[in-house]
């Protein structure tokens, strides 16, 4: 394990060179960061949970024809993915006002938005991920107009699928962040696929009955029981047993 070449270490994951060319191993750490790294902590077990939850969602997305980087889970903390050229944007889909949109437009947190809203942020920690318009994206060559159309269409499909998936588990999908990457075929033609992770670190998830937060806002806002909430998300999706142990259910074996 330690002989593997480390490609990149981020805030929540480490990327290692994969077993075959064009693959990477994503290792999910227990580190939690917020407010652009100003706040950090170690949350024991978070990496294991996010690895499983991301596997579960990406597998379902692959099955309904949303292309993703996900190949298979390797162990409790690691998954094999296709190496992509990351589009330097964070794509945020919002269904209900919370976080920065509530602040910016003076909306009440929990207020349903008139329709699902897709936003783009430039992925740059040093600049604190500023919000950008399509003009900025095309002018600075981060993505083409076609890429933008594709990212919006894919993000809305992910939103429809995930809203239903979580609703079935008694969870309201408030908003989430996606990252996309380019995969090049034999003729060097790029294709956009969903990359990175989908987990309670990258989504806002509220209990439908109580509005209790079951996501990273528990860490950002010091609400406590962060990993417990993530484990509850996994349990409700049928991924983990009551005890928080990994279940060997059909989704676990891949």
Binding site for ligand ADP (CB under 6 A): 8, 10-13, 15, 24, 69, 81-84, 86, 179, 181, 195-196
- 210: tokens are 């109580």
Identify which of residues 85 and 228 has a Cβ nearer to ligand ADP in the complex: 85
Identify which of residues 49 and 81 has a Cβ nearer to ligand ADP in the complex: 81
Minimum distance of ligand ADP from residue 193's CB (angstroms): 8
CB atoms within 10 A of CB 175: 24
* Ranges of H-type helices in 64-144: 100-105, 134-139
Q: Report the largest interatomic distance among the alpha carbons of the chain, rounded to a whole angstrom.
A: 52
Identify which of residues 121 and 206 has a Cβ nearer to ligand ADP in the complex: 121
Residue (of 213, 232, 179) closest to 58 by Cα position: 179
Identify which of residues 182 and 236 has a Cβ nearer to ligand ADP in the complex: 182
Q: How many degrees, rounded to 5, is the angle at CA 244 between CA 96 and CA 63?
A: 60
Minimum distance of ligand ADP from residue 52's CB (angstroms): 16
Minimum distance of ligand ADP from residue 183's CB (angstroms): 9
Minimum distance of ligand ADP from residue 244's CB (angstroms): 23
Minimum distance of ligand ADP from residue 40's CB (angstroms): 11
Q: Which residue's Cβ lies closest to ligand ADP?
A: 10
Identify which of residues 12 and 162 has a Cβ nearer to ligand ADP in the complex: 12
Identify which of residues 175 and 196 has a Cβ nearer to ligand ADP in the complex: 196
Identify which of residues 62 and 247 has a Cβ nearer to ligand ADP in the complex: 62
Give residues with Cβ within 8 angstroms of 37, minimum separation 6.
Answer: 11, 125
Minimum distance of ligand ADP from residue 13's CB (angstroms): 4
Tokens 């860490």 belong to: 219
Instruction: In whole angstroms, give the CA distance from residue 46 to residue 52.
Output: 10
Beta strands in the chain (DSSP E): 6-9, 13-17, 23-28, 31-34, 39-42, 70-73, 78-82, 85-86, 89-96, 112-122, 131-132, 171-184, 190-195, 203-207
Element spanning 147, H or E: helix 145-167
Minimum distance of ligand ADP from residue 203's CB (angstroms): 14
């Amino acid at each position: 394990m330690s002989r593997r070449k480390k490609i990149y270490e981020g805030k929540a994951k480490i990327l290692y060179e994969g077993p075959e060319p064009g693959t990477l191993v994503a290792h999910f750490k227990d580190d939690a960061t917020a407010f652009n790294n100003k706040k950090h902590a170690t949350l024991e077990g978070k990496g294991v949970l996010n690895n499983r939850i991301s596997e579960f969602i990406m597998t379902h997305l692959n099955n309904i024809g949303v292309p993703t980087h996900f190949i298979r889970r390797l162990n409790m903390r690691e998954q094999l993915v296709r190496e992509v050229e990351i589009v330097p944007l964070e794509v945020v889909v919002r269904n209900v006002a919370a976080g920065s949109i509530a602040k910016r437009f003076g909306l009440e947190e929990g207020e349903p938005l008139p329709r699902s809203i897709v936003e783009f942020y430039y992925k740059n920690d040093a600049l604190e991920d500023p919000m950008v318009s399509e003009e900025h994206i095309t002018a600075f060559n981060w993505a083409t107009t076609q890429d933008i159309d594709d990212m919006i269409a894919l993000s809305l499909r992910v939103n429809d699928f995930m809203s239903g998936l979580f609703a079935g588990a008694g969870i309201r999908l408030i908003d989430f962040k996606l990252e996309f990457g380019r995969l090049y075929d034999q003729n060097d033609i790029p294709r956009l696929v969903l990359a990175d992770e989908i987990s309670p670190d990258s989504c806002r998830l509220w209990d439908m009955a109580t509005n209790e937060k079951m996501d990273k806002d528990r860490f950002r806002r010091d609400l406590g029981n962060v990993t417990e909430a993530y484990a509850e998300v996994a349990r409700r999706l049928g991924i983990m047993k009551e005890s928080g142990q990994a279940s060997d259910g059909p989704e676990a074996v891949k």
